[in-house]
């Protein structure tokens, strides 16, 4: 029983990280049909920014930690907005070229991060509580997992509230549904594009800071390794569906933890799940677009 | 493109050079020249590390040709069939790791080992293709990526078969002596040249065959192909398998040339590199894929040398850091090509020689993909 609880909660903790990356990917794809390969770089830059901030202002205090999350979010959002304005916008309606540009950006920025911060992992420190454990139903859960879950839930609620109750959110939701109709009504969807990139970049930046705590280090590659799983989660959940991404993140990560614990084949199970879902339901769990 | 000949009534030199028969003769001459390179003492400072007869240079040239061959096989999927695959590295790795494992574990002679590896490559491409072609567009890209990831995980997990992080060294017991050792690099060079020529011929033949025409038509308008009464699935699958087997062949040559296979060749990044090469060379052009492969590999090589040079080390940080990362420069170059030069190198060459701007048409070729 305690093992099940342990795997469940640690799985949800991992799923929270997946969600922070996948939510942006899914929104961007839903609105713009762009599969953003540079999303991992938003995350990595956010992680490095958070780390640089935290080490200057005392990494073991809570205040610094929370501020480092904000710094990561801000840096990720700025990077994402610049990407949208300078690269994606130039290739409006050129879907393949947009994907190619993000591929190029991902390759170039990872190399640049290597040049700036080196290829080796840089280990970091966190508030002492995060290294501790809490007993839940007989299982001792690492404390940081609760933090990841809380962060993901807050981000999910914030995005949902934004989409439901603001004018920009309305435009984004309508754009995901039918972009040409929104344009035909005289609304400039392109400002919504920038906004979606900003939201996705901020979520990825938070995800980056948290992922660096999850791993215990920052390196230029943390974005790339999370990105593949985030892609898989996004596709399983249904491209463009935020709730689909949330459900798929939890399912994929928990399944991965269980498969890893029992047979050590977590990655393989995730891949098989993706293949199975796509063959049975090509549009994903909650996706409307095929 | 065809009305370029109509605008100029006088036959120009370019028109002569682009006649099919002349093209093949020129190609044959080029291959002949490349085959003679190990006997010649040519140096191109700044591009090649030394004179053409030295093993180091031959090794680099042979590697370049293999990457060009692999890019050609990717061109078949991406440029001709319009399928955005993110898992092409899998079949290349199947060739390299497959041959290495068969030679090491089953102690076979080289030829039967090659045949077995080919069959394995064919089966993997067949199964993965049959499954992933059931979905289209981004779904297809993701399923192929997922299968390649699964392959990558298998290679990493089964370290006693694949060597894990260390890589799999070539077991030379059953390899003919002529293909082993630095002194015999020229023989390996010829093998790699032969592989590139083979891949090029198969690709050309496939593109001109009935299946090639159908698959190109499917890329342009799948609905119309269906209306005519052809099922695109099998033609796409055939293209996928042909490209996969070609990649397996190149992978085997890679193992012989490099004497080892490492995990790098089965990562998603490796497939992305192929994508970069094909786009750099020009999507839809066979020569583009070859030239893209050559340019990319040589640039990568030279930029790596440049990165370690003293001229770079003396620069201030904001210049030194970007310049010492070859992938940063290549990635930036790639972005610039996508933004400003959609036809890649081949498209640029065509525009220069024809004197016409085809940016729109080239962008459309690219967008037919998916």
Interval B90-119 mean pLDDT: 90
- The ipTM value here is 0.83
Q: For B280-326, what is each residue's pLDDT tens digit?
A: 888 888 888 999 999 999 888 888 887 777 777 777 777 777 777 88
pLDDT tens for residues A17-54? 999 999 888 888 888 888 888 999 999 999 999 888 88
pLDDT of residue A18: 92
Instruction: Give the minimum alpha-carbon distance from A135 to chain B in angstroms, rounded to a whole number.
Output: 33
Range in A213-217, B167-171, B311-315 the model is least confident about: B311-315
Q: Cα–Cα–Cα angle for A193, A198, A203, nearest 5°?
A: 130
What does the domain layout of chain B look like in residue ranges? 13-367
CA distance B204 to chain A (A): 25
pLDDT for B92 equals 94
The CATH number of B13-367 is 1.10.3470
Q: Is B321's CB within 8 Å of A112's CB?
A: yes
- Smallest Cβ–Cβ distance between B322 and the set A99, A112, A279 belongs to A112
Residue B41 DSSP symbol: -
Residues of B in contact with A274 (CB under 8 A): 142-143, 146
Main-chain phi, psi angles of A134, to 5 degrees: -125, 140
A108 touches chain B (CB under 8 A): yes
Cβ contact B187:B178 at 8 Å: yes
Quote helix, strand, coil % in chain A, to nearest 5: 80, 5, 20
B250 has pLDDT over 90: yes
Cβ-proximal residues to B11 (8 Å cutoff; 6+ apart), any chain: none
Average pLDDT score over chain A: 85
Q: Which of B222, B331, B360 to mutate to test the interface with A (most CBs of A within 10 A)?
A: B331
**Do B32 and B23 form a contact (C-beta atoms < 8 A)?**
no
pLDDT band at A88 (very low <50, low <70, confident <90, very high): confident
CB count, 10 Å around CB of A146? 18
* CA triple B284-B286-B287, angle to 5 deg: 120
Average pLDDT over residues A166-177: 85
Q: Give the DSSP H or E segment for B290.
A: helix B286-307
Instruction: Kindly tell me if the per-residue pLDDT of B364 is higher than 70.
Output: no
Q: Classify residue B39 by burial, with Cβ atoms within 10 Å: 0-12, 13-18, 19+.
A: exposed
Per-residue confidence (pLDDT) for residue B338, from 0 to 100: 86
Q: d(Cα B301, Cα A73) in Å, to the nearest integer?
A: 37
Name, of A211-215, B67-71, B255-259, B353-357, the range with top average pLDDT: B67-71
Interface contact A95-B370, CB threshold 8 A: yes
What mean pLDDT comes out for the span A256-273? Answer: 83
A236 touches chain B (CB under 8 A): no
Phi, psi of A93 (to 5 degrees): 70, 5
- Tens digit of pLDDT for each residue in A189-203? 888 888 889 999 999
Mean pLDDT of chain B: 84
Spatial distance between the Cα atoms of A108 and A88, rounded to a whole number of angstroms: 16
In the prediction, which pLDDT does B358 show?
Answer: 55
Average pLDDT over residues A132-158: 83
From the CA of B220, how many Å to the nearest CA of chain A? 15
Least confident range from A123-127, A212-216, A256-260, B243-247: namely A123-127
CB A251 within 8 A of CB A19: no
Compute the average pLDDT of residues A224-238. Answer: 86
User: What pLDDT, on a 0 to 100 scale, did the predictor assign at position B8?
Assistant: 47
């Amino acid at each position: 029983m305690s093992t099940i609880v342990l795997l469940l909660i640690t799985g949800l903790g991992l799923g929270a990280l997946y969600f922070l990356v996948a939510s942006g990917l899914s929104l961007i794809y839903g609105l713009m049909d762009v599969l953003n390969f540079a999303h991992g770089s938003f995350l990595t830059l956010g992680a490095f920014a958070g780390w640089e901030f935290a080490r200057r202002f005392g990494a073991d205090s809570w205040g610094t930690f929370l501020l480092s999350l904000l710094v990561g979010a801000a840096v990720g959002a700025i990077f994402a907005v610049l990407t949208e304005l300078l690269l994606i916008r130039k290739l409006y309606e050129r879907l393949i070229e947009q994907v190619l540009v993000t591929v190029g950006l991902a390759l170039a920025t990872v190399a640049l991060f290597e040049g700036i911060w080196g290829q080796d992992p840089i280990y970091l420190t966190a508030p002492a509580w995060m290294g501790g454990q809490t007993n839940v139903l007989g299982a001792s859960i690492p404390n940081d997992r609760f933090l990841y879950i809380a962060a993901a839930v807050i981000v999910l609620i914030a995005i949902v509230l934004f989409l439901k109750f603001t004018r920009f959110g309305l435009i984004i939701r309508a754009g995901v549904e039918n972009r040409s109709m929104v344009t035909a009504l005289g609304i400039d969807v392109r400002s919504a594009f920038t906004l979606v990139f900003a939201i996705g970049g901020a979520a990825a930046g938070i995800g980056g800071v948290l992922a660096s705590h999850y791993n215990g280090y920052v390196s230029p590659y943390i974005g790339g390794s999370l990105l593949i799983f985030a892609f898989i989660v996004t596709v399983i959940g249904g491209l463009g569906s935020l709730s689909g991404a949330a459900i798929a993140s939890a399912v994929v990560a928990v399944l991965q933890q269980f498969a890893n614990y029992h047979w050590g084949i977590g990655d393989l199970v995730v891949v098989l799940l993706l293949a199975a879902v796509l063959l049975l339901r090509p549009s994903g769990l909650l996706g409307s677009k095929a | 493109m065809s009305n370029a000949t109509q605008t100029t009534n006088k036959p120009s030199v370019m028109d002569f050079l682009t006649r099919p028969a002349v093209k093949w003769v020129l190609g044959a001459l080029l291959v002949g020249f490349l085959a003679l390179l190990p006997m010649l003492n040519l140096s191109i400072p700044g591009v090649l590390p030394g004179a053409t007869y030295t093993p180091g240079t031959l090794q680099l040239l042979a590697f370049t040709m293999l990457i060009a061959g692999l890019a050609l096989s990717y061109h078949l999927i991406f440029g001709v069939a319009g399928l955005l695959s993110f898992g092409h590295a899998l079949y290349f790795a199947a060739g390299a790791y497959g041959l290495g494992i068969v030679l090491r574990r089953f102690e076979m002679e080289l030829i039967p080992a090659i045949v077995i590896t080919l069959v394995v490559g064919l089966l993997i491409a067949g199964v993965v293709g049959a499954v992933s072609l059931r979905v289209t567009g981004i779904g297809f890209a993701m399923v192929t990526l997922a299968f390649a990831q699964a392959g990558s995980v298998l290679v990493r997990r089964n370290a006693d078969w694949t060597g894990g992080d260390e890589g799999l060294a070539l077991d030379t017991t059953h390899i003919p002596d002529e293909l082993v050792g630095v002194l015999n690099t020229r023989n390996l060079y010829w093998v790699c040249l032969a592989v590139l020529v083979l891949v090029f011929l198969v690709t050309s033949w496939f593109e001109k065959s009935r299946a090639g025409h159908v698959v190109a038509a499917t890329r342009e308008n799948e609905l119309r192909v269906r209306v005519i009464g052809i099922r695109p699935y099998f033609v796409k699958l055939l293209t996928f398998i042909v490209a996969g087997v070609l990649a397996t062949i190149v992978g085997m040559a890679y193992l012989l040339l490099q004497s080892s296979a490492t995990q790098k060749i089965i990562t998603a990044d490796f497939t992305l590199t192929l994508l970069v090469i094909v786009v750099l060379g020009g999507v839809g052009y066979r020569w583009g894929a070859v030239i893209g492969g050559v340019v990319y590999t040589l640039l990568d090589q030279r930029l790596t040398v440049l990165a370690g040079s003293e001229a770079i080390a003396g620069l201030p940080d904001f210049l030194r850091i970007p310049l010492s990362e070859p992938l940063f420069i290549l990635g930036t170059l790639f972005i610039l090509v996508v933004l400003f030069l959609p036809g890649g190198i081949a498209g640029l060459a065509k525009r220069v020689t024809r004197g016409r701007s085809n940016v729109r048409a080239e962008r459309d070729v690219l967008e037919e993909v998916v």
